[in-house]
Amino acid sequence: MLRRHVPENIGAFRRWYADPEIARLARYQDGPMRLEEVDRFFQARAIGAESLAMAIHARDSDRLIGTCALSQFDGDNGSALFHITIGERDAWGHGYGTEATRLMVDHAFRTLGIHRIGLSVFEFNERAIRSYVTCGFVAEGRAREAIWRDGRWWDEISMSILESEFRQRQGDPAGAADMADAAGAIERPHRGLAARILGR
């Protein structure tokens, strides 16, 4: 389930972004975020008036396990960037990130009228790359040796999915089933904000 963040979620953000492994997978800087950085990030990107972030809850337990967001809307060209963090380590490897990504992609194309969703991922984050490919993202380029981790240089991979590709996937029985199952699994409070951003 995806829901709007509430102020009480800040405690989870402080814990997640203090985790060195999450910092390794998600941050360009070498090390976890400082407490004041996390608080600013949460206020602006999770619960801010212009935020398009959603809290990821496990459906069976309602437990908060992560966050995902769309950012950097380009209204002239109908594009946005996607970000996701599964903050609870024991929730890794269970498909939550893939399901949340599918829900947000569906929301972006069907509700917000986006044309293109892009993202960036470090090449050593193989689990995330597999998840994005499963959701229909295509690798479109790489910044060579753009990140220093674990004593060596790694590439940063750019990926994207287009609305036409998303629609084509909906013609597949599996894709249609995925989206049918997603019905009702995401709060949809963003239509007005997206209309303002996209000028529609």
Domains observed in the chain: 2-198 (3.40.630.30)
**What was the pLDDT predicted at 199?**
40
Predicted pLDDT at 176 = 47
Distances (CA, A) of 197 to 57, 124, 188: 27, 34, 16
Mean pLDDT by 10 residues, the chain (200 residues): 96 95 90 92 89 94 96 92 96 96 95 96 96 97 95 97 93 49 53 42
Task: Give which of 186, 3, 177, 199 is closest to 111, Cα–Cα.
Answer: 186
pLDDT at residue number 193: 45
Question: Using CA atoms, how far apart are residues 149 and 84, in angstroms rounded to an integer?
Answer: 20
pLDDT at position 75 is: 86
The per-residue pLDDT for 170 is 81
Per DSSP, which regions of 114-182 are E strands?
Answer: 116-122, 138-149, 152-162
Answer whether 185's CB lies under 8 Å from 103's CB. yes
Residue 171: its pLDDT value, please? 76
State the pLDDT at residue 51: 84
Q: What is the pTM of this model?
A: 0.84
- Long-range contacts of residues 83-86, Cβ cutoff 8 Å, at least 24 apart: 83/119, 84/56, 84/128, 85/16, 85/22, 85/26, 86/56
